[in-house]
A and B are shown apart, each in its own frame.
Chain A
């Protein structure tokens, strides 16, 4: 009992120490670092119809992508095709905006397809709310975090295209006849706003016809900052430099209402709603704010909780599968090993020999290749049709674990004194009955701790499940990171949860071991 108390104390002290180190590390590394979140505002001027999908309206596919294909305008015009190819790097599960604008009267712009070379290629067809809708904006969300490159092919018949996808790389292609107010307004707005630092990646395709379109992207932390962004844009477009200088939030909202009158078809509200979700944390500071941002806002902790559930589920199911598979393979191998010399030749012996060889190949292949590769093979090749990551992960980890379990059990059986087999057989027990009544009870006690340790190792191995679109604990942290752009706390939290779970199971194993030892009669 005293020992148990000591262990619990050790665990508590370790947890406190880790938390303290995490806190200090956070202070040192991140407290003063600039961290900006992005507020995106679309103001669409009268004179064009536009539609922007709000995040709520975005219909996500299972794998987190959206689909857009529509060639009807192009076809109608029999239009010339302009292929515009650019590459984008998408960020995480963050919503990325792609806006296409087209105008029935003067020209046709239509985004035909957006695709990536690797895997995620589907983009949702924007809802054509109104047959006369002239502007379509597409949002898409990348499925994976880092390094995915997206190529955008834009086709249009006449007119020009505006494409922006960020700061330095902003490109505005003006219409031939577009030396007008819209042009100056837009360029000015961009100029101001792109000075701000932001990690935003925003994609926009739009027609910059006069009075047609304004896009403002504001990066800011506190309200006052992004207000300033709006102010600048507003000031730039109205020429009134001071109008918004001292607005508070209520007044600003009033202005937004006013703007609504002016810009009949605007998308501001949706954009501000999105901002509200991010900004409250900004009023706090430092660790608390970061904690709030990463875990409390939008109930992001649920990613971790659900992720942990998924991790445990996968571990449990694949662990069970591993034990069953491992026991079978171990049985085949030891049966062959122990009986090959005493078996009468015949079909049974040949069959057992072949099965043994097959098991040998299984063990060699599975133990000789990384589990990650096996997982990807399972998901991308064997389960290519269903693309159910969870099933693929359970089976891949189950098969992998089975190989190690088989060796543990085989080792256990082979470590039992040959005399035990002989004693059983000489009494008249068959090989199977000798196994069941005499050998396996002893093996079980010997290998149970090793099996439990294999289970713990498996738990940690499943952290690569994210690669096959399984939202496990590790992936949960990744999702949070990709939304908040704050890697520290989510990573530390994920690590701590793994640690806590592993320590819990380790403790169970040691209790189990002690129990077994105290009941040992050798």
Chain B
């Protein structure tokens, strides 16, 4: 457990998720804490439950059991309005999920205008400055299908940032990209990490994990097998399964 950052933003207790009427256990009692400003990288083989874990954090998947406490609120409680909490949790998807019928600018301003009641101008100014930051200032009027994969993902990231979230969740953000575009997206994510954003990243990019991650979680079989600094996990893994996994991919 990383202890140098004590301000816990997300706390997960006994998180389980069963699919197909209980026959598939994607998550089996996961406990984890994520501190404010921390970059947590979740790794593990396919089907290990790491994506499900991430999607349970903002309840895109409703956990079968367990609690997710976000900024002190148990968001699995039926009585809370999950939509308000999701506004504080940005999410980036493997397949970008931009809205194809809107321009880049409209994609970015939709949520701030409709949900945060920002003025159109204010939202656009923020969106444009974010686009400039990721080198896409000239693509504000483009439609998603006119962008490359890397550009789409950068737009998706800054779209999420437009809501000024407290935490960003990345669900394999580079897995659907051509290799030459992976770099530009990772660069944006590294910049984001440098600004102190709390990030939970599910990825297969070990280089990113090593370089940017404050903490690496290794999951397998729906359980959190091992976690520690990148140094600890990559250089000296304690668990046999971690060692097997790393030996296969490194």
- Measuring CB to CB, which residues of chain A are less than 8 angstroms from any residue of chain B? 341-342, 344, 346, 417, 419-420, 422-423, 425-430, 433, 437-438, 441-442, 445, 521-522
Q: How large is the interface on B (under 10, 10 to 19, 20 to 34, 35 or more residues)?
A: 20 to 34
Interface check B119, CB cutoff 8 A: no
The answer to whether A419 and B95 have CB atoms under 8 Å apart is yes
Q: Once bound together, how far apart are the Cα atoms of A437 and B102, in whole Å?
A: 10
Interface residues of B in 106-145 (CB under 8 A from A): 110-111, 114-115, 143-145
- The answer to whether A428 touches B101, judged by C-beta atoms less than 8 angstroms apart, is no
Contact partner of A428 among B86, B143, B159, CB < 8 A? B86
Known: A341-B62, A437-B114, A521-B143. A425 touches B86 (CB 8 A): yes
A211 to B250 Cα, complex, angstroms: 123
The answer to whether B84 has its CB under 8 Å from any CB of chain A is yes
- Contact: B160 with A427, CB < 8 Å? yes
CB distance from B168 to the nearest CB of A (A): 11
Tell me if B236 is interfacial: C-beta within 8 Å of chain A: no
CA separation between A278 and B97, bound complex, in Å? Answer: 72
Which chain B residues (157-207) contact chain A, with CB distance < 8 Å? 159-160, 163, 169
B111 touches A429 (CB 8 A): yes
Which of B61, B86, B143, B145: most chain A Cβ within 10 A? B86
Given A344-B78, A426-B60, A521:B146 Cβ within 8 A: yes
Among A346, A426, A437, the one with the most B-chain Cβ atoms within 10 Å of its Cβ is A426
Q: How far is the CB of A341 from chain B (nearest CB, A)?
A: 7
Residues of A contacting B58 in the complex (Cβ-Cβ under 8 angstroms): 426
Asked whether any CB of chain A lies closer than 8 Å to the CB of B245, the reply is no
- The CA of A422 and the CA of B61, in the complex, are separated in Å by 10
Q: A-B pairs with the 10 shortest C-beta distances?
A: A521-B143, A428-B87, A423-B97, A344-B78, A426-B91, A419-B97, A427-B111, A342-B62, A428-B86, A522-B100
Measured between alpha carbons, how far is A296 from B17 in the docked complex, in Å?
Answer: 77
Contact between B99 and A422 (Cβ–Cβ < 8 Å)? no
What residues of chain A lie closer than 8 Å to B143, measured between beta carbons? 521
**Do B60 and A425 have beta carbons less than 8 Å apart?**
yes
Residues of A within 8 A of B100 (CB): 442, 521-522
- The answer to whether A427 touches B97, judged by C-beta atoms less than 8 angstroms apart, is no
User: Please, which residues of chain A bring their CB within 8 A of the CB of B99?
Assistant: 420, 423, 438, 442
Query: Whole-angstrom distance from the CB of B81 to the nearest CB of chain A?
Result: 9
- CB contacts (< 8 Å) of B144 on chain A: these are 521-522
Q: Give chain B residues whose Cβ lies under 8 Å from the Cβ of A433.
A: 114-115
Q: Are B111 and A346 in contact (CB under 8 A)?
A: no
B219 at the A/B interface (Cβ < 8 Å)? no
In the complex, the answer to whether A521 meets B101 with C-beta atoms within 8 Å is yes
With an 8 A cutoff between CB atoms, is B10 at the interface?
no
Taking Cβ atoms with an 8 Å cutoff, the residues of B that contact A are 58-62, 78, 83-87, 89-91, 93, 95, 97-101, 110-111, 114-115, 143-146, 159-160, 163, 169
Contact with B145, one of A427, A428, A521 (Cβ below 8 angstroms): A521
Q: Which of B60, B101, B115 contacts A422 (CB 8 A)?
A: B60
Contacts of B60 in A (CB 8 A): 422, 425-426
Complex contacts, A521 vs chain B, CB 8 Å: 100-101, 143-146
CA distance A433 to B111 in the complex (A): 10
- Supply 14 A–B pairs (Cβ within 8 Å), ascending by A: A341-B62, A342-B61, A419-B97, A422-B93, A425-B60, A425-B86, A426-B160, A428-B84, A428-B87, A429-B114, A429-B115, A433-B114, A438-B99, A521-B145
B24 → chain A closest CB, angstroms: 13
A422 to B85, CA, bound (A): 15
Q: Are A428 and B163 in contact (CB under 8 A)?
A: yes
Q: Which A residues touch B159, using CB under 8 A? A: 427
Closest to A436 in B: B114
Residue from A344, A422, A433 having most chain B Cβ neighbours under 10 A? A422
Contact (Cβ within 8 A) B111 A428:
yes
Most B CB within 10 A of own CB, among A425, A428, A438, A442: A428
CB pair B62–A423 under 8 Å, yes or no, is no
B-side contacts of A429, CB under 8 Å: 83, 111, 114-115
Name the distance in Å between B23's Cβ and chain A's nearest Cβ. Answer: 14
Contacting residue for B97 out of A341, A420, A428, A442, CB 8 A? A420
When distances are taken between beta carbons in the complex, the residues of chain B under 8 Å from A427 are 86-87, 110-111, 115, 159-160, 163
The answer to whether A417 touches B83 (Cβ under 8 A) is no
- Set of chain B residues within 8 Å of A522, measured between Cβ atoms: 100, 144-145
> A423-B93, A426-B89, A433-B114 given. 9 additional CB < 8 A pairs?
A420-B99, A423-B99, A425-B60, A428-B84, A433-B115, A438-B110, A442-B101, A522-B144, A522-B145
Q: A residues within 8 A CB of B86? A: 425-428
Question: How far does the alpha carbon of A173 sit from the alpha carbon of B91 in the complex, in Å?
Answer: 97
Residues of A within 8 Å of B146, CB to CB, are: 521
- Closest beta carbon of chain A to B144's beta carbon, Å: 7
Cα–Cα distance between A425 and B111 once the two chains are bound (Å): 10
Q: How far is the CA of A442 from the CA of B99 in the complex (A)?
A: 9
Chain B residue with minimal CB distance to A434? B83
Q: Which residues of B contact A342 (CB under 8 A)?
A: 59, 61-62
Nearest residue, chain A, Cβ from B61: A342
B171 to chain A, nearest CB (A): 9
Contacts of B110 in A (CB 8 A): 427, 437-438
Q: Which residues of A contact B59 (CB under 8 A)?
A: 342
Q: Which of these, A341, A419, A428, A445, contacts B93 with CB under 8 Å?
A: A419
Given known contacts A420-B99, A423-B93, is B114 in contact with A346 (CB within 8 Å)?
no
Q: Given the known inter-chain contacts A344-B78, A423-B93, please indicate yes or no for A430 contacting B101, CB distance below 8 A.
A: no
A438's closest neighbor in chain B, by CB?
B99
Chain B positions within 8 Å of A346 at CB level: 78
Q: Which residues of B have CB within 8 Å of A341? A: 62
Cα-based distance from A430 to B115 in the complex (angstroms): 10
* Complex contacts, B78 vs chain A, CB 8 Å: 344, 346
Enumerate chain B residues within 8 angstroms of A417, measured Cβ to Cβ.
95, 97
CA distance A344 to B79 in the complex (A): 9
Find chain B residues with CB under 8 A from A344 CB: 78
